[in-house]
């Protein structure tokens, strides 16, 4: 059975996958069906158009063949005895009131030498008789498919036979009225063929209607997409070229839609970036200009007040510089063409060094670092300069936003597939919305909920970009009263 099914499914698959083969198959089915119906209808129309005629040709042929046999015998015997026997037989038939042929035998001059009793002539015009024979041969009606003239076929049968007997040229003329036979005949007419053609046209139109509707729907879908409705999708039907075309058009529409959405998102991000940068640059710049104006106009009482004004202006200048540096770094990191400069680094020692450098700053808030990782050296291949920026941002954030007098945990672990680095600090509860948006550009927590000094709002966005450049991920979670930042790097970074 498998041997039977295999070619069957192969053929069916070929038909389903090719619209050309489908149309050819439909054409063949319609043509064969139309021919079959026309063939079935043919006998009914043939019976309807049946007619009857009288056919004299069989008796005429019989008379002709009989005379040819007599002439052959006479020629073979070189004697007129066969002719005399024929004349005698026909005379006997005449005496018995039967149909008999007229037979005349003449010499070259037309003198009648032998004849049947019906013939009265003693002299025959040979040339005239021969013309009559020729005229009969030309005008003799033959069996026709559609019409017969009975009057014309009742004409007397006339034949001519030349003979040479014992050196003498003789002419034999035979004539007679043949017997007719009733014959039925029918005409087919154009109706079966016309019905077959109409059936073919209707069946072909009906069987191809589905494909035509599919083409119309596809044209409508393409027009919708061309008008800007990129959410419109053409329904895929079947497995042939039309189905493939519908799928390709849908994919094209989806690609165009994605590209346009990406361009709109980039345009929106650009506008938001300009707005946020303008606001964040204006705030410290306004403070700087205000304090410098006070100094320039001499609106201070003591030298100490003068120095305080300059100190604040300088501090705001540093804040402005940090904001510009962060903005430059973020713009550079979001460039897809940036290349990492990887180096082999012991990540344990790198974290320990950064923690030691930040110990004085942590002590100002009464906090201390606690590490949770083994002494085993873990060597990784990373861009150390950029990853230092990530760890430094996270550690500084932990100090700034940690509750006073608490611990800041730094852990490092390696499993079968990833490297996990976690920096956690005790913090106020963060909402789910804050955890989702914490890595967005210029995002800052509500100042009424924290006393920490706000930064540029780009530190965590920069950290996320650097981690993603290393094919890793970073996320925040609030667990056990601690805000935890987890960095996950693929194990491929291990050396």
What residue ranges do the domains of the chain occupy?
A: 14-49+187-229, 53-186, 242-338, 339-493
CB count within 10 Å of CB 381 equals 15
Residues 115 and 104: their CA atoms lie apart, in Å, by 5
User: Closest Cα to residue 273, out of 127, 440, 390, 147?
Assistant: 440
Cα distances (angstroms) measured from residue 316 to each of 245, 280, 288, 296, 490? 62, 12, 6, 17, 40
Q: Name the CA dihedral angle for 296, 298, 303, 304, rounded to a multiple of 10 degrees.
A: -80
Residue where the block lists tokens 């540096």: 325
Mean pLDDT in order along the chain per 10 residues (495 residues): 57 69 83 84 65 76 83 84 85 82 87 86 84 61 38 63 86 82 66 82 84 83 85 80 83 86 76 69 82 86 87 84 75 70 89 90 89 84 88 89 88 87 87 76 50 59 86 88 90 69
**Lookup: tokens for 261:** 């959405």
Spatial contact of 470 and 456, defined as CB atoms under 8 Å apart: no
Spatial contact of 216 and 237, defined as CB atoms under 8 Å apart: no
pTM: 0.46
**Lookup: tokens for 238:** 């079947």
User: Closest Cα to residue 123, out of 135, 140, 109, 133?
Assistant: 109
Residues 233 and 243: their CA atoms lie apart, in Å, by 12
CB count within 10 Å of CB 461 equals 22
3-state secondary structure of 366: coil
3-state secondary structure of 82: helix
What are 287's strand-pairing partners?
A: none
Q: Name the CA dihedral angle for 205, 210, 216, 221, rounded to a multiple of 10 degrees.
A: 180
| CATH architecture of the domain formed by 53-186 | 2-Layer Sandwich (3.30)
Spatial contact of 487 and 474, defined as CB atoms under 8 Å apart: yes
Spatial contact of 34 and 203, defined as CB atoms under 8 Å apart: yes
Cα distances (angstroms) measured from residue 186 to each of 36, 143, 190, 194, 286? 21, 13, 13, 18, 114
Q: Classify domain 339-493 at the CATH topology level.
A: Heat Shock Protein 90 (3.30.565)
DSSP state of 448: G
User: Closest Cα to residue 292, out of 311, 319, 278?
Assistant: 311
Cβ-based neighbours of 112, under 8 Å, separated by 6 or more? 104, 105, 106, 119, 121, 122, 123, 124
pLDDT at 184: 67
Residues 52 and 55: their CA atoms lie apart, in Å, by 10
pLDDT at 50: 64
Residues 238 and 479: their CA atoms lie apart, in Å, by 53
Q: Which CATH class is domain 242-338?
A: mainly alpha
End-to-end CA gap in the chain? 59
């Amino acid at each position: 059975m498998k041997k039977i099914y295999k070619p069957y499914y192969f053929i069916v698959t070929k038909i389903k996958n090719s619209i050309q083969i489908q149309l050819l198959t439909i054409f063949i089915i319609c043509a064969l069906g139309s021919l079959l119906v026309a063939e079935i209808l043919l006998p009914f129309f043939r019976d309807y158009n049946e007619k009857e005629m009288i056919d004299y040709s069989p008796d005429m042929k019989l008379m002709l063949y009989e005379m040819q046999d007599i002439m052959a015998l006479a020629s073979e015997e070189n004697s007129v005895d066969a002719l005399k026997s024929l004349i005698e037989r026909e005379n006997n038939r005449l005496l018995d009131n039967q149909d008999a042929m007229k037979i005349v035998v003449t010499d070259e001059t037309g003198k009648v030498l032998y004849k049947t009793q019906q013939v009265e002539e003693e002299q025959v015009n040979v040339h005239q008789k021969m013309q009559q024979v020729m005229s009969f041969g030309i005008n003799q009606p033959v069996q026709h498919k559609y019409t017969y003239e009975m009057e014309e076929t009742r004409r007397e049968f006339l034949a001519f036979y030349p003979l040479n007997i014992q050196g003498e040229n003789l002419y034999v003329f035979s004539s007679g009225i043949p017997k007719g036979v009733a014959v039925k005949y029918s005409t087919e007419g154009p109706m079966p063929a016309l019905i077959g053609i109409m059936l073919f046209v209707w069946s072909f139109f009906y069987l191809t209607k589905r494909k035509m509707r599919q083409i119309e729907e596809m044209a409508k879908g393409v027009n919708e997409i061309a008008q800007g409705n990129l959410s419109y999708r053409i329904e895929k039907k079947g497995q042939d070229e039309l189905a493939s075309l519908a799928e390709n058009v849908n994919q094209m529409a989806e690609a165009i839609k994605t590209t346009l959405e990406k361009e709109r998102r980039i345009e929106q991000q650009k506008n938001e970036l300009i707005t946020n940068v303008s606001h964040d640059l204006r705030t410290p710049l306004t403070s700087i200009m205000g304090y410098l104006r006070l100094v320039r106009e001499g609106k201070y009482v003591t030298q100490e007040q003068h120095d305080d004004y300059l100190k604040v202006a300088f501090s705001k200048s540093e804040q402005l510089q940090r904001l510009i540096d962060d903005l430059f770094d973020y713009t550079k990191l979001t460039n897809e063409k940036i290349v990492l400069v990887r180096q082999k680094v012991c990540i344990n020692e790198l974290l320990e060094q950064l923690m030691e450098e930040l110990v004085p700053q942590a002590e100002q808030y009464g906090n201390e670092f606690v590490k949770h990782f083994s002494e085993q050296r873990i060597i990784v291949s990373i861009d150390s300069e950029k990853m230092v920026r990530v760890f430094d941002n996270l550690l500084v954030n932990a100090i700034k936003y940690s509750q006073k007098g608490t611990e800041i945990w730094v852990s490092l672990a390696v499993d079968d597939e990833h490297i996990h680095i976690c920096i956690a600090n005790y913090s106020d509860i963060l909402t789910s919305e804050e955890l989702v948006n914490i890595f967005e550009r210029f995002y800052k927590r509500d100042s009424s909920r924290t006393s920490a000094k706000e930064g540029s709002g780009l530190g965590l966005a920069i950290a996320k970009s650097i981690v993603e450049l290393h094919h890793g991920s970073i996320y925040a979670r609030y667990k056990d009263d601690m805000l935890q930042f987890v960095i996950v790097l693929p194990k491929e970074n291990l050396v």
